[in-house]
Structure formats: structure tokens, C-alpha cells
Amino acid sequence: MKEIERKFLVTSTDFISESSFSNRIVQGYLNSHPERTVRIRIKGNKGFITIKGKGNESGTTRFEWEKEIPVAEAEQLLPLCEKGVIDKIRYEIPLGKHIYEVDVFNGENNGLIVAEIELKNENDTFEKPNWLGKEVTGDNRYYNAYLSNFPYKDWN
């Protein structure tokens, strides 16, 4: 029940041609407190509820519990969420033994593109594609719960 991931900004849209799959994701937060987040997500035609704990000092590891729920239930729960629903297209790009998930944000976070890679442990090595930019692991501004409250369009 641990999530180990690193986050990066993306410098170009070259990843799109390398993508094996893409899906629209709409999500909201029943609770976006930094100590614990409770997220409702619709990914394609599936619904999910996810609980995440606070990250460790490096920001790479944190508790994560997720359960699939009927999409109709997720649709009913989204209106109960805090303001600031996240809307994005997620692209999956296989590279070596990993899969990068690249999120292209829409709506109030339009213009932001962030890549994540899940790892087996914090010292796991991985290939870095040419479109991968600055690492932002541990920078709370790039986490969806933060973006739902402080959208990218309002950054200086």
C-alpha cells in the first residue's frame, strides 16, 4: 500500500507519439489536507476512491489505498468534493522496465504538463526520455490536491 514515484515537468509534446494509451481523468477531493487526501476519480469509464497519506521527506514515498467504485457512484460523489476539480488527459509511455504517466492538464491548470514514474523502491533506476524536464518530486505545487486549490493559471 505504498506509492513510490518521482515527478518531472515535461519540456515538449514529443511523448504523445510514444504513448501506448491515453485516457481522460476528472477528479475532485473530498479532503485535500496535506496529511491525508481523499480523492474521487473518473478515469475513462471507471470510478475510484483513493486515500493518500503524507509523503516522506523526499516526497517519493507515501501511503496509498485505492478502490474501484461504480462510475455512477463517482459521478454522485464529485459534486460533494471541494472546489477545483482536476481535468486532464493521461498518456502512458512505456520506456525500459517502467511506464511514464504524463498528465496534460485542462481547465484552470491548462498549460501544465507533468510526468510521473512509479518505482519499486526509492533507489530504483530508470531511463529518462529527451522530453523529461526538471524534477519536481516533493514540490507540493505539482500535486493534484494543491492544483485543485491553487490552479496553475493563478501562478506568477
Instruction: Name the residues annotated as catalytic.
Output: 29
CA distances from 35 to 31, 83, 112, 149 (A): 10, 19, 24, 15
CA distances from 10 to 1, 20, 67 (A): 28, 17, 29
Between CA 21 and CA 37 the distance in angstroms is: 27
Helix ranges (H only) for 1-156 are: 15-18, 71-77, 144-149
Nearest to 61 by CA among 121, 130, 102: 121
Cβ-based neighbours of 76, under 8 Å, separated by 6 or more: none
